[in-house]
Amino acid sequence: MTRAPRTTLKMTNRTLKASAADRLKGTYRSSAGILLPKIERHVMRSLRDTGGIDPGRSSDYMHPSDMSSKDWCGRHDYYRMIGTPVEKEAKANPSFRMENVFAEGHAIHGKYQQWLHEMGGLVGVFQCEACTYEWFTTSPKECPFCRATSIVYREYPLRREVYRVEGHADGAVSLPDLQTLVEIKSIGIRTLAFEAPRLYQRYLDGEKPEDIWFEINRPFGSHMKQGQLYMWMAWPAYEQIVFIYESKFHQQTKEFVVEYNKSLIQPVLETARDVARAFRGGYEPDRPLWAEGPEGKVCSSCSYRRTCWGENDAAQANDPPEQLVRVRRAGSAKRKRQLGKPATG
């Protein structure tokens, strides 16, 4: 019996006939799709139902994530804390793309928290998915109430009541050779746009994000400030914080260890203290020094703009400095002479 010769298949550049090409196109769609639109509708419906509000974020406290911004306004937080009605809704403009960005950031946080949990040193609040019981502990194996093993981490809560400041660190680690807070940051193009304009400009000029990543050699300014605020609330239990940066471009990682230095956040703490005193005393705190007027870059988009500035303040803020007349109170002797009364020594 003669065996047929063995053949080797070779990939060649072939031109499909028109009919074959049409049949191939019929196997896929390049437009909106059939599954992705359903996912998008589900996500947007969830945002609409919840209002896009984080249920774990108190409205009557100041938060380090806000306070670390260079444009943070304590007076704005004061109005929010006392329940002042907003004059206009914030332009959140939620979208599936942005929710996808946030979800990716949460996923990156979640995997590191899971790994730290498995290592046995993750400290904070945990919640049982079966019975919703919450408790503060270190890397639990099961729920102490119902014995379920499906447990999620709810981060490390922090609060300074006197200053009316609270927040949640991404994690706290307690191991035999390491005690530290942990903050996890996913770094993408939007991060560069907000935190590192110089590096972002290099991206706009055509440099690859993968190359720019290697130029990040320290935590960004707002991250540093946020971490110092967390350590200020956690001290003396924790005196350092580890920043884990993960690139969204290629999943490479960096670690930065930062020690506690209260002097770096002293101006922010002074503002927070003034706002807390105003909150308890029922009076408005001062505006920040950078507030130029109701038409300024930040103030013009504030939800409490008219409440803060008022008509009289707004009119005065719009007057040129040379039109303002300095008024000085006359001495008592001069006032009496003008009234026709003898001045007494």
State the Cα–Cα distance between residues 247 and 210, nearest whole angstrom: 8
Q: Which of 46-60, 99-113, 279-293 has the highest mean pLDDT?
A: 279-293
pLDDT at residue 248 is higher than 70 = yes
Structural contact between residues 239 and 259, judged by C-beta atoms closer than 8 angstroms:
yes
State the maximum Cα–Cα separation within the chain, in Å, rounded to a whole number.
Answer: 143
Hey, is 314 helix, strand or coil? helix
Q: pTM to 2 decimals?
A: 0.78
Strands (E), 7-103: none
pLDDT at residue 340 is higher than 70 = no
Mean pLDDT over the full length of the chain: 82
Q: Is the dihedral of CA 183, 187, 193, 197 positive or negative?
A: positive
Q: What's the first-to-final CA gap in the chain, in angstroms?
A: 141
Domain spans of the chain?
63-110+170-307
* Least confident segment among 15-19, 54-58, 84-88, 187-191: 15-19
* Least confident segment among 160-164, 303-307, 326-330: 326-330
Closest alpha carbon to 141 in 130, 151, 132, 133: 151
Structural contact between residues 317 and 305, judged by C-beta atoms closer than 8 angstroms:
no
Query: Residue 179's beta-bridge partner residues?
Result: 174
Closest alpha carbon to 242 in 189, 301, 180, 195: 180
What local confidence, expressed as pLDDT, does residue 272 receive? 98
State the Cα–Cα distance between residues 84 and 152, nearest whole angstrom: 35
State the Cα–Cα distance between residues 271 and 269, nearest whole angstrom: 5
What local confidence, expressed as pLDDT, does residue 34 receive? 78
Closest alpha carbon to 224 in 245, 249, 200: 245
Token pair of 295 as six digits: 């038409």
Closest alpha carbon to 178 in 121, 262, 248: 121
The torsion region of residue 120 among left (phi > 0), alpha (psi -120 to 50) and beta comes to left
* Least confident segment among 105-109, 299-303, 308-312: 308-312
Q: Is the dihedral of CA 111, 166, 193, 47 positive or negative?
A: positive
State the Cα–Cα distance between residues 187 and 190, nearest whole angstrom: 8
> Which letter, b or e, does each residue of 10-37 get, where b requires 16 or more Cβ atoms within 10 Å of its Cβ?
eeeeeeeeeeeeeeeeeeeeeeeeeeee
Token pair of 309 as six digits: 């500035």
Q: Is the dihedral of CA 291, 293, 296, 300 positive or negative?
A: positive
Hey, is 335 helix, strand or coil? helix
Structural contact between residues 249 and 188, judged by C-beta atoms closer than 8 angstroms:
yes
What local confidence, expressed as pLDDT, does residue 6 receive? 47
Helix axes 36-50, 96-119, angle to 10 degrees: 80
User: Hey, how many other C-beta atoms are within 10 angstroms of the C-beta on 52?
Assistant: 12
